Amino acid sequence: MKANTAMLQVQRSNWKMARLIVRGILGVLFLMAGFWKVFTLTPTVHAQQFFIGWYGDSWIPHWLLWTLGVSIPYLEFTAGVLLCLGLRVRDSAFALGLLLIVTTYGHALRDPLFNIDGHTFTRLSLILFLLVTPGGADWMSLDYWIARRNTRRRRD
């Protein structure tokens, strides 16, 4: 019985470390991509170059191309910051998952045999890991400490 308890503690510890590492890597990837698109490239140039330039002659309305092209850099940057902090991790991971659907469709629209093995599959794997692992295991996140504080308040 004691061995089983020790084994469970090791497994919980491993989940904590794995979740911290995955959240950190994913956060940095999207933070840096968003930072570059917001502060170096600029969202307007991002929209013009990667959305209007690539999909302007497609079925997609220009207002939608502009909206996505300008907003995606901010989404990437904000979600990356939130993931690095461990704040609203599930919401951020879900939003980034939806973003990957949009970008995968865009790449497949240009190239129907788009190779998902590059950036997309890696990021998708990390997002799915965050969505299926227990959030309470991530003791190095703000979500964990906020939940812990709220639990203490309810007990008091």
What is the total residue count of the chain? Answer: 156
Where do we find the tokens 């980034």? 96
Overall number of domains in the chain: 1
pLDDT of residue 16: 86
> Where in the sequence is the domain holding 24, given as residue range(s)?
13-155
Residue 93, Cβ density class (10 Å: 0-12 exposed, 13-18 middle, ≥19 buried): buried
Instruction: Output the pTM of the full model.
Output: 0.87
In a domain, 5, yes or no: no
In a domain, 3, yes or no: no
In a domain, 7, yes or no: no
| pLDDT tens digits, one per residue of 111-142 | 998 888 888 999 999 999 999 988 776 888 99
- Residue 146's contacts (CB-CB under 8 Å, 6 or more residues apart) are 87
In a domain, 81, yes or no: yes
In a domain, 1, yes or no: no
Measuring CA to CA, how many Å separate 146 from each of 30, 90, 93, 99, 130? 24, 14, 18, 27, 18
Does 76 score more than 90 pLDDT?
yes
| pLDDT tens digits, one per residue of 17-47 | 999 999 999 999 999 999 999 999 999 999 9
| pLDDT tens digits, one per residue of 41-58 | 999 999 999 999 999 999
pLDDT of residue 1: 58
